[in-house]
Amino acid sequence: MLPTRFPRLVLPLLCVLLCLGNCAAKPIDAREYPRTETYAIAPDTDTTFRRYIAPLVAKNGGQSGFELITTGKYAFLSRMALIHYAEKTLDIQYYILQDDKTGLAILHEVMAAADRGVRVRILVDDMRLKDVYHAMAVMDSHPNIEIRGFNPITVEKQSLISRINTWLGDFDRYTKRMHNKALIADNQLAIVGGRNLGDQYFDVSGDFAFNDLDVITAGPITAEISRSFDKYWNSPQAFPRAALTLPEAKPEDVAELKEQMVASRKELAESTIGEDLRKNEILSMLREGDGLFTFAPSRFTVDSPLKIRQDSDDTESPPFEALVELVEKSDHELLAVTPYFVPREDGVAWLREAMARGLKVKVLTNSLAATDVSMVHSGYAKYRREMLEMGVELYEFKQIPGVRTRSNLFKSSSRSSLHSKVYVVDRRFVVLGSFNLDPRSVELNTELAVVIDSPKIAAKIVQMFEETIGPKASYKVSLKDVDGIAESKEMVWEAKDKDGNPEVFVTDPKPGAWRSISTWFFGKFDLDDQL
């Protein structure tokens, strides 16, 4: 039994905490901590990359060049090559950076670059830094490497009262994250897209893989990506590692991790990937001229880092607005690949208006069995029937254990989840980046995307799209008269199994009990604005 005085002690404290939580939490500002504003080197700085790329850009009328990264292996090798050949600077911006096999190998390569004098800036969303605080301690100990965390929940200088106020009164600090992904070498080459850094994104993990898409950029657009990085790096939301409330990294743990980094890099060097690393494909293809890149008109779109401090109703989303602009000028076709698809009523109305002009819409998203976030699927499922009724073609990516489809863009591993975010308008315009068609990307998180005007690049993505929506890789969702009553059409999922036999389902296929229950549960709440 509780002491009789317990309520007398607790109730006043609860009242104080509630009052604090109702107070507007004062925004914490990174400029209150010791840090120096730094910027990308000038695009015309003499480097090996510059000497190869500048003539190609001039030859192609000043346009930027692009190379799709469609496999996990090539995604890893491309990043390692850019890091290996960087001579002046490396700027690295990610939502997630893992300390697994490939993550440690990449960090080891970054350390080697810093050892030869390359200036390294690493900006990671603070929500994920606590998972890799040992690795960040190792990196930040190098004089040529600086670590910053974006949008931390709390920081070291805050008093206990201030932290409680933040925890209770500043919910945006939890929900609004930096979702951008970019790696930039010498302000000449960049990799942007959907992949974070870790085994699951490079198809190395033995039990799970995110199937994703990136692009290598060369030319003027890379300088735009660098300017975006600078804005984030110097923003009031980018805190030096010393200001972050990370666990203390013990010297023995740091030493052990350094050994793991060396071992991970050595293991990869001795594997078949090591042979590919030694070929240095990117540099050799640059020597050959136009073989690597497709040059095309383009532009870079990115959210402001200040987006996370704005009310959701007032935020602007340049990546999404770029897609909207293209769709509103089109009356032909929109192909959308988005792993997290929550259109809400306004999105459904937008699509209905576009389709009334004659636009054909095809959407590929995750099935309930394949998604890694069943809560998001609950937000999508409630609009599924309405979209089908108005003519949207819906395809849901299957979870296919142990089977790999021919298309490397969305291939399956032992358990896979679609993670690519790419949109093709009129088989000409490509919008590729980190943003999904959901409220989180549009209103909460910061995102980026490249917009490319290239029928050639669009054709590659369309081909892979058409292969992936086929019945062995995806379910086609439609409304069919199952019982002979036209007025009561049922939702049907159609596909083929691994032996080519037809499969038909009238509920979400093969989700497992827990996913079914959790999706049903979350569907009872109005959570769309947080999905």
Backbone φ, ψ for residue 422 (5° rounding): -150, 145
Backbone φ, ψ for residue 257 (5° rounding): -65, -40
Burial class (CB in 10 A: 0-12, 13-18, 19+), 499: exposed
Q: Give percent helix, percent strand, percent coil of the chain, each to the nearest 5.
A: 45, 20, 35
Retrieve residue 426's tokens.
Answer: 């009129």
Pick the catalytic residue from 99, 186, 203, 528: 186
- The angle at the Cα of 334, spanning 332 to 337, to the nearest 5 degrees, equals 165
Residue 132 DSSP SS3: helix
The whole-angstrom separation of Cα 105 and Cα 99 is 9
The whole-angstrom separation of Cα 310 and Cα 290 is 43
Q: Are 170 and 154 in contact (CB under 8 A)?
A: no
Q: Are 168 and 134 in contact (CB under 8 A)?
A: no
The whole-angstrom separation of Cα 506 and Cα 76 is 39
CB within 8 Å of 415: residues ≥ 6 apart? 207, 208, 209, 399, 401
H or E stretch covering 148: strand 145-150
Retrieve residue 476's tokens.
Answer: 């086609």
Pick the catalytic residue from 88, 307, 411, 421: 421
Max Cα distance, the chain (Å)? 84
Active site residue 421: yes
Residue 244 DSSP SS3: strand
* Number of neighbours of residue 413 by Cβ within 10 angstroms: 23
The whole-angstrom separation of Cα 350 and Cα 213 is 26
Q: Which of 133, 303, 271 is nearest to 202 (CA)?
A: 271
Pick the catalytic residue from 101, 181, 307, 472: 181
Retrieve residue 191's tokens.
Answer: 């990799």
The whole-angstrom separation of Cα 68 and Cα 472 is 24
Active site residue 411: no
Q: Which of 149, 116, 165, 122 is nearest to 240 (CA)?
A: 149
The whole-angstrom separation of Cα 273 and Cα 97 is 20
Q: Which of 126, 154, 117, 159 is nearest to 28 (CA)?
A: 154
* Number of neighbours of residue 102 by Cβ within 10 angstroms: 25
Active site residue 212: no
Active site residue 332: no
Beta bridge partners of 418: 211
Pick the catalytic residue from 419, 438, 472, 528: 419
Active site residue 181: yes
What is the set of active-site residues? 179, 181, 186, 419, 421, 426
